[in-house]
């Protein structure tokens, strides 16, 4: 596979992070196999997570092909970059094609990155996740690797202004030990274990984070921050989904009336 775009993008990102004074801490990259396929499953707290989760695999010499919503690929600027880096578009109305593309990449020895929570966690804890990542690892006969990111939400997250130029922000990337799910396993139970491991990694990153988050918006409520509780965050997600559905229904109704 031709890699004209991805390596220069990584180099540019590292230079930018150095200019911004970001302090990156990567642990556990040795858990990513040097060769062969793997499913990398990360928590999701920022719009920039795919960049930092990818950097977690960089010391192991691997490039991660992330599954991302189709709308990102439709963007005039981001789209060509995403395609050039061979990321995988996810069409929510045709999920089967995305799954097939990801499985093909795994069988070709690629590392595929997924955000199993689907959307950004506004509580900054790991939301409930579906078993798609587990099924993908089983079908591809590859390891499943949990990853935790912390600090990325300070730069840019849902409902907050971007602070990309905030110097000195600490970013933690923890790569956990691989899991090896297989056919015949209870996929839902394995998914619960995956979520537990991800949350344990997040807890570890939070505990060692050098900046005190007490009273801060970016700190989870159970750790003394002012972020929404998981229950409040779930309500915010539900309201957002309802609003999106209403807009889609109105748009389809308008298109239907104009075509009649």
Query: What is the full DSSP assignment across 207-218?
Result: HH-SS--TT-TT
Rounded CA gap, 31 and 38, in Å? 11
H or E element in which residue 42 lies: strand 38-42
Q: Is pLDDT of 259 > 70? A: no
H or E element in which residue 147 lies: strand 144-150
pLDDT of res. 92: 77
- Closest listed residue to residue 28, CA positions, set 162, 167, 145, 181: 145
Q: Tell me the whole-structure pTM to 2 decimals.
A: 0.95
Distances (CA, A) of 186 to 27, 40, 190: 30, 20, 6
Per the listing, tokens 């990542």 go with 133
Rounded CA gap, 128 and 20, in Å? 33
Other Cβ atoms closer than 10 A to 32: 22
Q: Where are the domains of the chain?
A: 6-215, 229-260
Rounded CA gap, 260 and 257, in Å? 5
- For 6-215, CATH number out of 3.40.50.720, 1.10.40.30, 3.40.1130.10, 3.30.930.10 equals 3.40.1130.10
pLDDT of res. 38: 98
Mean pLDDT check: name the lowest of 88-97, 184-193, 214-223, 245-254: 88-97
Rounded CA gap, 175 and 146, in Å? 6
H runs (alpha helix) in the chain: 6-20, 49-57, 70-74, 78-84, 95-107, 132-140, 152-155, 187-208, 230-259
Distances (CA, A) of 166 to 21, 30, 148, 155, 160: 8, 30, 21, 7, 14
Residues 41 and 145 sit within 8 Å (Cβ to Cβ) = yes
Mean of pLDDT values over 106-131: 97
Mean of pLDDT values over 192-200: 98
Q: Rounded to 5 degrees, what are φ and ψ at 160?
A: -130, 150
244: which residues sit within 8 A by CB, 6+ positions away?
none
Rounded CA gap, 53 and 59, in Å? 12
132-179: per-residue pLDDT in tens? 999 999 999 999 999 999 999 999 999 999 998 888 999 999 999 999
pLDDT of res. 255: 85
144: which residues sit within 8 A by CB, 6+ positions away?
38, 39, 41, 133, 134, 137, 178, 179, 180, 181, 194
SS3 221: helix
pLDDT of res. 260: 60
Mean pLDDT check: name the lowest of 2-11, 18-27, 160-169, 237-246: 160-169
């Amino acid at each position: 596979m031709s890699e004209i775009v991805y390596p220069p993008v990584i180099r540019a990102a590292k230079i930018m992070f150095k200019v911004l004074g970001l302090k990156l801490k990567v642990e556990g990259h040795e858990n990513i196999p040097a060769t062969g396929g793997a499913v990398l499953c990360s928590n999701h707290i920022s719009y920039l997570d795919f960049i930092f989760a990818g950097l977690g695999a960089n010391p192991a010499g691997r490039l991660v092909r992330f599954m991302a919503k189709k709308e990102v690929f439709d963007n005039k600027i981001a789209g060509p970059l995403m395609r050039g880096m061979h990321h995988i578009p996810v069409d929510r109305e045709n999920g089967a094609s995305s799954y097939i593309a990801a499985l093909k990449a795994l069988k070709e020895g690629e590392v595929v990155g997924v955000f199993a929570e689907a959307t950004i966690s506004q509580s900054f804890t790991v939301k409930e996740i579906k078993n798609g990542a587990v099924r993908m690892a089983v079908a591809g006969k590859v390891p499943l690797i949990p990853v935790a990111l912390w600090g990325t939400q300070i730069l840019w997250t849902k409902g907050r202004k971007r602070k990309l130029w905030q110097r000195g922000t600490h970013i933690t990337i923890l790569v956990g030990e691989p899991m090896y799910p297989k056919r015949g396993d209870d996929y839902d139970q394995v998914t619960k274990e995956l979520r537990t491991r991800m949350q344990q990694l997040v807890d570890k990153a939070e505990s060692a984070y050098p900046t005190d988050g007490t009273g801060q918006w970016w700190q989870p409520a159970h750790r003394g921050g002012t972020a929404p509780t998981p229950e409040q965050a779930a309500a915010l997600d539900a309201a957002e989904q309802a609003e999106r559905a209403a807009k889609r229904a109105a748009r389809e109704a308008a298109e239907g009336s104009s075509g009649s």
